[in-house]
Structure 1
């Protein structure tokens, strides 16, 4: 009975909020509270069962595993990630703890633990919104995920100290995990493209990474993330991520439902939750200025900070160990922060466009790796987005003209292409400041091969706004998206599958040479 109600309310409210332009996860949160209210005020009983809790946990593990699949660990080990996360954590605790002591009237130990819990940002929500916008590999996305990983490590340490226990000595085996990478890559090679590939992902995320890490006293979430990251460099990592997508999405619905189904708050809990919500903007502002200190541009700092402006489910886990009496108000604060953060992140780029003239002067004058080119030089043909489609287009153009350039929002990918001999540099098509300072004196044609629609729309609009009159072409998977791209300024937007069919037919025609002889 409970499962039927979960599905019904999750779908109904998810569809409703999607219809008004909000992410469906806001509807799932609302569904949980509605179900909790039904249990409170009607004879209908809907409980937070072990089944729902288990589904929610599996969803989190699969999400972190797929995040790991898209994560290059070397990009996480950077000053802005390590220094930024530690500095933000220290300042938050130093400011929030005294405030909670004097305003909430709690003892110092409780105040410090609450400040620690509120300092964390949601890995689930941030990864979800960044993944939805296909920005996990963009510079600001990797900075946000890196900071979240650091926060998760801090949370694990706090929980270990608060619980008075330490990981097993077998946890030291984690340092030998890199030795398993060749074996894991081989497993991925031989798993094929069907159900064995999905089962391999579930095995690594839930069994070896999840249960395996729990068995030695470590976090199952950390295990799932690490095993995903160990496969990130494999050519089929993206295929594995796509194969797990539907399973992960369904299980994550359980995570958001669980937050609401846990119970409705009383007046005191609502008061504390409201107080936490009121100071939430300070968290984002602090992240913004901390990242500026590490020489990030205002745009990268803003987008990373907005993704981190929420409270964390990890804070609830810390509270369950150290502050069980504060679980309800913290859960409400986390829920409200999700409702506020999700739509804001969806509008992150338009919001920055409005604020750019105020935020840009705050940037450091020193250079940083996220700085982008200001001139295309002699480039005649530009390929924006150097994934599989963009790379194929670049290589084809390069056969006929040497003045070809590729742009990609992933610095690591740009470096990889440059090492392979391609003229590819880092840039983000959704960055208005990039377009404002860009010179393209000899540009004649542009291919928009980015994976996300918003990037193509912004690029097409900005090219025309700058007076570019050359040919702009894009690809997409949907007819309605093709029309939007043309309206934004592209000359043509081709449907990917249609063009694949045309290419296959062309190859067949070129290879087939029918004889003109007639049978005797």
Structure 2
């Protein structure tokens, strides 16, 4: 019965919060607090909290496993990621620790652990925001995810130290785990695409990684992360991560419910949460200037720092191990940071356009290698966005157009296309700095094939603003978006599914005999 009450409250409060454009997990926290308040009227709402605690722990393990699946060395081994994350962590701890100690009157150890918990940014919120805007693979998205992974690793070290567990002699077997990678790859290949894939993820994260590491005296969280990281370079790692996404999110609902059911904080705890929310902008400002020091452009630094201007659910996980008495105040601080961060991230690009004239002069004269400006030279036709649609358009045009170029905001994708013989270079169409220095003397036509609507609108507007009078065409999935793209300056915007249907019909029509209407013998049988 208590499970039914938990689910009902979590769903409706999550739905209510989502209606205001905020992350549903704020609603789950609120549901927990409300259930805690109702506990005096009916014991049903708090029955079975041991089961809820177990569900919450499973959610944490799955979260760490999916973080491990993204843990590729290339994503973290760069100066801006390693330097930016560690320097920010160090400065935050140096500033917050004495501040908490003297203002809150806490001992130095507690002050340091609270400062560490507040130094992390939310992997869940940032990943969701970047994924929604199709920016996970953009340069600023990759930098943000890299920094978040570094923070997650730091959090894991802190949790392991705080737990104070003594490993057994069998823990040395962990060093032999890389030998299992070929076997894990074979299991992943053999699991197919359905429920076996999900079960494999649960087996590795919860059983072998979680219980297995606990059995030898190591952290179950560490085990989940390591087994995820062992599969990170497999071609299907992203598919496995997506298959576990919903399961992980459901279990994490239990984590936030459990925090709320723990009860509301006292006055000092609420004051702590409010002060933490007030100093949150300093976190983003510090990230912005650190990234500028690593030669990122003002735009990339701004978008990355905005993604990281929040407190983290990992801070709550650290607190659940090291500072359980501070878990609820920290949870309120995290919820307030999400309320602040979520709307700002939705307005990130228009906000930067307004502030660009103030922020751009702050950037370094020397450019980051991934942010070098692009010259179109003698290009006559430009394809912006080299995903499946853009690549198909490029290959079709390459048959008759020698002066052809493709642009993509993912450097790895641009390098892959270049290795395959296509004239594709890195450039972010949403970067106003790119457009300011763009010279396109011979350009005649542009195809807008980016994934997100915002990129197409910005590109269409900037092309017309620079005086381009050639043909601009785009594709989109929705009629209202097509109208917006035309209003922004495109000559035409076609609906993707409609054009696919037309193309399929054309292929069939081309195979039919124009004289008899018969299908050729090597084609489809005549009915």
Q: Is TM more than 0.5 here? A: yes
Distance 1:372 1:354 in 2: 23
Matched residue, 1:383? 383
Distance 1:106 1:418, change over 3 A: same
Distance 1:256 1:164, change over 3 A: closer
Distance 1:513 1:206 in 2: 60
Matched residue, 1:425? 425
Distance 1:301 1:237 in 2: 28
Secondary structure of residue in 2 paired with 1:46: helix
Is 1:471 the counterpart of 2:468? The answer is: no
State whether residues 259 and 335 of structure 1, in contact with CA within 8 Å, keep that contact through their aligned partners in structure 2: no
Matched residue, 2:521? none
Distance 1:325 1:12, change over 3 A: closer
Matched residue, 2:368? 368
Distance 1:289 1:168 in 2: 44
Secondary structure of residue in 2 paired with 1:400: coil
Matched residue, 1:328? 328
What is the Cα deviation at residue 329 of structure 1?
A: 1.6
Is 1:278 the counterpart of 2:278? The answer is: yes
Distance 1:462 1:354 in 2: 15
Distance 1:204 1:322, change over 3 A: closer
State whether residues 70 and 136 of structure 1, in contact with CA within 8 Å, keep that contact through their aligned partners in structure 2: no
Equivalent runs, 1:70-469 vs 2, <5 Å: 72-165=72-165, 180-215=180-215, 224=224, 227-228=227-228, 231=231, 234-469=234-469
What is the Cα deviation at residue 258 of structure 1?
A: 4.2
State whether residues 10 and 31 of structure 1, in contact with CA within 8 Å, keep that contact through their aligned partners in structure 2: yes
Equivalent runs, 1:440-519 vs 2, <5 Å: 440-513=440-513, 516=516
State whether residues 60 and 124 of structure 1, in contact with CA within 8 Å, keep that contact through their aligned partners in structure 2: no
Q: Deviations over 1:90-116 (max 9, x none)?
A: 111111111112111112222222222
Structure with higher Rg: it is 2
Distance 2:375 2:155 in 1: 44
Distance 1:102 1:240, change over 3 A: closer
State whether residues 76 and 142 of structure 1, in contact with CA within 8 Å, keep that contact through their aligned partners in structure 2: no
* Deviates most, 433-442 or 255-264: 255-264
Distance 1:89 1:268 in 2: 25
State whether residues 73 and 229 of structure 1, in contact with CA within 8 Å, keep that contact through their aligned partners in structure 2: no
Distance 2:140 2:439 in 1: 24
Secondary structure of residue in 1 paired with 2:369: coil
What is the Cα deviation at residue 180 of structure 1?
A: 4.9
Q: Deviations over 1:166-219 (max 9, x none)?
A: 555655655655555555444444444433344444444444455455555555
* Deviates most, 251-260 or 407-416: 251-260
Distance 2:517 2:342 in 1: 68
Q: Deviations over 1:243-268 (max 9, x none)?
A: 44544454444444444343222211
Matched residue, 1:46? 45
State whether residues 165 and 218 of structure 2, in contact with CA within 8 Å, keep that contact through their aligned partners in structure 1: no
Q: Kindly report the root-mean-square deviation, in angstroms, between the aligned alpha carbons of the 2 structures.
A: 3.2
Distance 2:78 2:209 in 1: 25
TM-score by length of 2: 0.87
What is the Cα deviation at residue 368 of structure 1?
A: 0.5
Structure 2, unpaired ranges of 5+ = 519-525
Distance 2:121 2:297 in 1: 21
Distance 1:456 1:38, change over 3 A: farther
State whether residues 383 and 407 of structure 1, in contact with CA within 8 Å, keep that contact through their aligned partners in structure 2: yes
Q: Deviations over 1:322-366 (max 9, x none)?
A: 323322222221222122222222222222222221111111111
Distance 1:396 1:431 in 2: 28
Distance 2:471 2:218 in 1: 55
* Deviates most, 400-409 or 65-74: 65-74
What is the Cα deviation at residue 417 of structure 1?
A: 1.6
State whether residues 283 and 309 of structure 2, in contact with CA within 8 Å, keep that contact through their aligned partners in structure 1: yes
Paired residues, number: 518
Q: Deviations over 1:398-444 (max 9, x none)?
A: 12212222222221221222222221122222222222222222222
Q: Deviations over 1:267-325 (max 9, x none)?
A: 11101111212221111111111121111111111222122222222222322333233
Distance 1:465 1:322, change over 3 A: same
